[in-house]
């Protein structure tokens, strides 16, 4: 059965790290819409030009644009056997579009990573990313260069105090309602993200394994028995 996972949670919850680990474990791609947009900004494409200012302010790019990007990405060969989505969906309209896109591919497992707001702010203010390859540097690390490619570590342009506040506000308003959208499904699970990353990874792996061997699900992940 394909592994179709959505990693849900506020900025700074550790979604990227956990999505990467889960994807690697199951040999499926991690699909981060934020990374795809940042790549487009770095490459100076039309998409990048359209997204850059919106991202720097901490707002969301339009549903229409992001749904199209994800539709094309899920059509690629490597996503046929499954995927871990990181940063998508972020609105109810995006979640509905995702159901329509993936309905025939088996159940969608939704993992919410929960972290208190004060901890999120602390993490985002201290976060450093590689300006060359986009990798996250370990939180609290003292190295000035990227552990993956040796590139220089910088603050993300949307990790400023104003943009952090705006992103948390946008999350509460537009993305948190997705928890209600998905909660009724047996394929939904909430994990405490305010724990060491290895512990979070173990809980995510266990939760996903339990939901990969379910009773019977319809294509939207709702239990039918």
What span, in angstroms and rounded, lies between the C-alpha atoms of 109 and 221? 7
Active-site residue (options: 127, 155, 176, 186)? 127
**25 is a catalytic site residue:** no
Of 160 and 214, nearer to ligand AMP (C-beta) is: 160
Of 64 and 75, nearer to ligand AMP (C-beta) is: 64
**156 is a catalytic site residue:** yes
CA-nearest of 33, 39, 54 to 98 is 33
Active-site residue (options: 30, 123, 128, 167)? 167
**222 is a catalytic site residue:** no
Of 33 and 102, nearer to ligand AMP (C-beta) is: 33
**167 is a catalytic site residue:** yes
- CA dist 60 → 36, 55, 57, 205 (Å): 14, 7, 9, 29
Active-site residue (options: 21, 38, 90, 123)? 90
What span, in angstroms and rounded, lies between the C-alpha atoms of 108 and 8? 12
CA-nearest of 147, 156, 162 to 128 is 156
Shortest distance (Å) from residue 161 CB to ligand AMP: 15
Shortest distance (Å) from residue 86 CB to ligand AMP: 7
- CA dist 155 → 131, 135, 173 (Å): 9, 12, 25
**127 is a catalytic site residue:** yes
What span, in angstroms and rounded, lies between the C-alpha atoms of 201 and 15? 10
Residues that bind ligand AMP in the complex, under the rule CB under 6 A: 11, 33-34, 37, 54-55, 58-61, 66, 87-88, 90, 94, 158, 167
Catalytic residues: 15, 90, 127, 156, 167
């Amino acid at each position: 059965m394909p592994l179709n996972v959505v990693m849900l949670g506020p900025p700074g919850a550790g979604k990227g790290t956990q999505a990467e680990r889960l994807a690697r474990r199951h040999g499926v791609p991690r699909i981060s819409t934020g990374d795809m947009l940042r790549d487009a900004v770095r490459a100076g494409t039309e998409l990048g030009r359209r997204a850059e200012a919106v991202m720097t302010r901490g707002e969301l790019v339009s549903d229409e644009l992001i749904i199209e990007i994800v539709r094309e990405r899920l059509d690629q060969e490597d996503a046929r056997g499954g995927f871990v989505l990181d940063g998508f969906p972020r609105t109810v309209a995006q979640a509905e579009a995702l159901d329509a896109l993936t309905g025939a591919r088996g159940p969608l497992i939704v993992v919410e990573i929960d972290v208190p707001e004060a901890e999120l702010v602390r993490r985002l203010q201290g976060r450093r990313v590689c300006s060359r390859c986009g990798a996250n540097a370990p939180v609290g690390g003292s190295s000035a260069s990227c552990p993956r490619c040796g590139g220089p570590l910088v603050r993300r342009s949307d990790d400023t105090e104003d943009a952090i506040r705006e992103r948390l506000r946008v999350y509460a308003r537009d993305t948190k309602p997705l928890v209600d959208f998905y909660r009724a499904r047996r394929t939904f699970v909430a994990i405490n993200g305010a724990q060491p990353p290895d512990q979070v990874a173990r809980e995510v792996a266990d939760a996903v394994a339990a939901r990969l061997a379910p009773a019977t699900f319809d294509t939207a992940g709702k239990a039918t028995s």
